[in-house]
Amino acid sequence: MARYSLSAHAYVCTIEDHAIVLDLNRDTYFAVTNAQASALVGLVEGWPRPAGWRVPLGTDDQEIRESAIRALSKRGVLAVEPSSGKNAAPVRVPSPQAALLGTSLLHTLLDDPAVRPPRVRLMDIAMFILAYVRASYRLSHTKLTEVVERVRLRRALMIEAPDNDVLRKLVHRFRLIRPFVYTASNRCLFDSLVLIEYLACYGIYPLWIFGVTARPFSAHSWVQNGHVVLNDTPEHVGRFTPIMVA
C-alpha cells in the first residue's frame, strides 16, 4: 500500500528512463533519476513507472528509496499521508492532431485561400486589452498555483465544448491584434494565458497544457481545444510530454 501521495501543487511525468516533477508553488521543474523514480513506484500513490523499472529487491534499493523520499520531502512535493495529497498519475490530454490556424497569418491564407481575415471589432480590441492586463497582473502578483486553479475552476463551469468555427474567428482576431501589443516569441506561458483570458471573455474555456522534453530539458505551454491546437502546431507540441493541464 502506498505510504505517500503527491502534494496538490506538484505534477509528475516520465520521460524515457527518469521522471520530471513540476512544482507550481515555486514555478520550477526538477528531474528524478531512474533509480529514485523506480524506487518510488508503489510507495507514492499513482507514481508512474519509468523505462527500465524493476521490482526493488535489496538493501541498496531500500537506501535509494529512503534517499528519494528525503529529497522529495525536502522540496515539499510529497504528502505524508495519501489522503492529504493526490494521486501522482500523469495527466491525460487529447493528442494534438491539427492546428486551428497556420503558423502565421500569411501561412493561414496560403494554406486555405478561402480563409479571409475576419474584421477586428472594437469589442475584440477591448477584450484583448482586458485579457492582456489580467494575464500580466496575475503572473506578476499571484502564485502560478492560484492562476492555474482559477483557470481550472472556471473551465469546470463550461457546459459544452466550443465550436471550432467560432474559435477560429476569435483566435484569428487575437492574432491580428497581438503584434501591436506584444511579441509571442519565447513567451509561451504568457501568450497562452492571454489567449485563455481573451477566450474566457467570450465564455470559451479551452485546455491550458504544460509539457516538457528531456536531453536537453525544455518546457512549453500551449492552448488546445480537444485535438486542435490554438496557438501552436501539433508537430511542435507533439515533441512535449504533458505534465499539467488546467
Instruction: Measure the CA–CA gap between 233 and 99, rounded to whole angstroms.
Output: 5
Structural domain of residue 79, as residue ranges? 5-84
Closest by Cα among 63, 73, 79, 59 to 6: 79
Same domain, 114 and 46: no
Same domain, 112 and 224: yes
Q: Which residues touch 82 (CB under 8 Å, ≥6 apart)?
A: 2, 3, 4, 5, 45
pTM of the model: 0.89
Q: How does pLDDT run across 113-122, given as a tens digit for each residue?
A: 556 778 999 9
Q: Cβ of 132: how many Cβ atoms within 10 Å?
A: 19
Do 74 and 143 share a domain, yes or no?
A: no
With a cut of 70, say whether residue 108 has pLDDT above it: no
pLDDT of residue 54: 67
> Does any domain span residue 89?
no
Cβ count near 202 (within 10 Å): 14
47 and 168: one domain?
no
Mean pLDDT across 118-143? 97
**Residue 168 and residue 101 in contact, taking contact as beta carbons nearer than 8 Å:** yes
Q: What is the pLDDT of residue 61?
A: 74
The three three-digit cell numbers of residue 23, written as one number: 512544482
Q: Is the pLDDT of residue 206 over 80?
A: yes
Q: List, for residues 1-30, the tens digit of each pLDDT value.
A: 578 999 999 999 999 889 999 999 999 999
pLDDT > 70: what percent of the chain?
A: 90
All 3 cell numbers of residue 32? 528524478
Q: Are residues 107 and 205 in the same domain?
A: yes
Q: Of 54, 84, 114, which residue constitutes the final position of a domain?
A: 84
Q: Which of 96-105, 108-117, 147-156 reaches the highest mean pLDDT?
A: 147-156
Identify the pLDDT of residue 80. Answer: 84
> Does residue 128 have a pLDDT over 80?
yes
pLDDT digits (tens, 9 = 90+) for 68-92: 999 999 999 999 876 779 999 999 9
